[in-house]
Amino acid sequence: MAKKVPATRVDSNGLDELALIARRLNAASDDLNASLRQIEIRLSEIGIGISRFVPLPDTRIDLSEGHPIEEWAEYQLGYDRVAEGWILMIRRAHFTADPAMEFRSRRIAGSSTR
């Protein structure tokens, strides 16, 4: 037969404060989501229908780790179509530099720079 272990008393003062903070955070999150939904509705009414993303500042992460080809990830805010329709979204985008696409200035025979 297993011995009964006495219950350990847990101080709930910190948990009470955490519950209050959680309620405030949930209310703020609900307000933000309602505002974003209104923006989505308005964009849908306008009928833009073009998917576009912009990088969020200070989110670029270098993934090259000493490799000769530059590689990075960044977070982007955008507007895109999903199964439910057009929505605002944040995505993590991954990029690898393509050395073949780098611009190289070269003079074409017979051209002038004047």
pLDDT at residue 112 tops 60: no
28, part of any domain: yes
Strands 71-82 and 85-96 turn out to be antiparallel
Residue with tokens 């805010």: 77
52 token code pair: 């576009």
Pair (61, 76) in one structural domain: yes
Summarised one tens digit per residue, pLDDT across range 29-79 is 999 999 999 999 999 999 988 999 999 999 999 998 888 888 999 999 999
Report how many domains make up the chain: 2
Pair (34, 63) in one structural domain: no
Pair (28, 67) in one structural domain: no
Pair (23, 60) in one structural domain: no
Pair (61, 77) in one structural domain: yes
Summarised one tens digit per residue, pLDDT across range 88-97 is 999 999 999 8
Owning domain of residue 42: 16-47
| DSSP states of 4-42 | PPPPPP---HHHHHHHHHHHHHHHHHHHHHHHHHHHHHH
